[in-house]
Amino acid sequence: MPLAYGVALYMQAEYVMKVQVIQSKNQPPRFYVNIPLPLAAALDLQAHEEVQWQLIGRSDLRLLRLSTSAAKAPKRKK
């Protein structure tokens, strides 16, 4: 039975990501995690949207959206 809102029934729910680090002189290292596009789309993440990581345990993080509704990216004029 197809879903009315267009999400695939067997959508991948796990993505492997690598933690990246940037080291600058006289600065502490900064760690980055990139969110794969299919996961960002499934979460309806928008550019410049503010999110927050919540530490659940040493191996579990939760990504929290800070605004109650998804922020919409400003439209660019051509």
Tens digit of each residue's pLDDT (9 = 90 or more) over 5-18: 445 556 677 888 99
pLDDT tens per residue across span 24-49: 999 999 999 999 888 888 889 988 99
What is the pLDDT at residue 3? 40
Residue 57, SS3 per DSSP: strand
Which DSSP string corresponds to 12-31?
--------EEE--TTS--EE
CA–CA distance, 78 with 72 (Å, rounded to integer):
18
pTM: 0.60
Task: Name the residue with higher pLDDT: 78 or 29.
Answer: 29
Distance of alpha carbon 21 from alpha carbon 39, whole angstroms: 22
